[in-house]
Amino acid sequence: MSPMKQMKQTTHPPDHRPADARNGAATAAPPQAGGRKRRRPASTQWAAWGFLAPVTLYLALFYAYPLYRNLDLSLRNYTVRSFVQGDAPFTGLENYRKVFDDPTFAPALLHTTLFTAVCLVFQYAIGLALAVFFHQHFRLSATLRALFLVPWLLPLIVSASTWSWMLNTDSGIVNATLHALGIGPVNWLTSPSWSLTSVIIANIWIGVPFNLVVLYSGLQSIPAGLYEAAALDGAGAWRRFWSITFPLLRPVSAITLLLGLVYTLKVFDIIWIMTKGGPADSSTTFATWSYQLGFGNLLPAFGPGAAVGNLLVVAALVFGLVHVRVQRKQALS
């Protein structure tokens, strides 16, 4: 076959498309100058705002506005009349000065600190022990774990009323048990020496299930291979706990303690139902004191009561910021 025939056979048919279409098919369109991103369609932006609107409205109505109102209450001299009419005079930090000068402030601060610290330590320690125990996956472990959630699921008024009956001096089951053991009765709820201990015991019982659930979930995320390797190296159960379990649970433990701290600082129901902060303010905390100032008297002191509540908010906020800062440092290291 001659070279001319080969050229005719290999020649492609003519392309009748426009020149810009032919050039576009051969080469891709160059990227936009400056690397600018395309703007999102308006429908996508409206959809994003639509999803954010309910959350923003909820936070504004149920968090931001109550905090603002509580701060406004603490900076003005509100009475029942001015509370209704809204013409309370501005007093600045006068209500805070009254709170700090009040003789109840020091005992309430001490009780709040003791109540919070003791409850956190025992709730975390007992919850962690139970979480490690149930992590063994023995028979009936799921059933027993579900039963331990009962204190957490009960309404607080039911739990507090039950503990009030159990710790009753005359007819309580605790004193009945002590009497059977040859021990005299204890005035759990009416003695200044025992009232704070009584509400601490009740609050520990209520808070243990929360720690159990969260810490048990954290244990589920630890690889079983680490325990197997440690066992092959001859590490005992106690050594495996301190070298593997406890360090790897540190992030979960931090958030558990933070949430427990915020909850325990504002505990009111249990203390008020069991002791009402008494006798003689022996179990008064900032939460019960704030309620007593604002609603527990014939002439309520709304300003000082709101000031005490703001002290609790500031305390919870400080611990929350410390937690965030520590977590950020650990993430960067």
Q: What is the Cα–Cα distance from 109 to 265, expressed in whole angstroms?
A: 11
| CB 196, CB 283: distance < 8 Å | yes
Q: How far is 296 from 160, CA to CA, in rounded Å?
A: 20
Instruction: Look at the block and give the residue holding tokens 């810490």.
Output: 215
The predicted pLDDT at position 85 comes to 79
Residue whose entry in the numeric block shows the structure tokens 């040859």? 182
CA–CA–CA angle 192, 313, 269 (5° rounding): 45
Full pLDDT tens readout for the chain, 333 residues: 444 444 344 444 455 554 444 444 444 445 454 455 566 666 788 888 888 889 999 999 998 999 999 999 999 988 888 877 778 889 889 999 999 999 999 999 999 999 999 999 999 999 999 999 988 877 888 888 888 888 888 889 999 999 999 999 988 999 999 999 999 899 999 999 999 999 999 999 999 999 999 999 999 999 988 888 988 888 888 999 999 999 999 989 999 999 999 999 989 999 999 999 989 899 999 999 999 998 887 788 889 999 999 999 999 999 889 888 888 887 776
Residue with structure tokens 């009416």? 190
Among residues 95, 111, 97, the alpha carbon closest in space to that of 293 is found at: 95
Q: In the prediction, which pLDDT does 37 show?
A: 55
Instruction: Please answer whether residues 246 and 228 qualify as being in contact, where contact means their C-beta atoms are separated by less than 8 angstroms.
Output: no
pTM > 0.85: no
Q: Determine the pLDDT at residue 24.
A: 46
Task: Kindly give the residue spans of alpha helices, DSSP state H, lying in the chain.
Answer: 3-10, 19-26, 42-59, 65-74, 80-85, 94-101, 105-134, 141-147, 150-153, 156-166, 173-180, 195-220, 224-232, 237-240, 246-248, 250-265, 269-274, 286-295, 302-332
Q: Which pLDDT does position 1 carry in this prediction?
A: 46
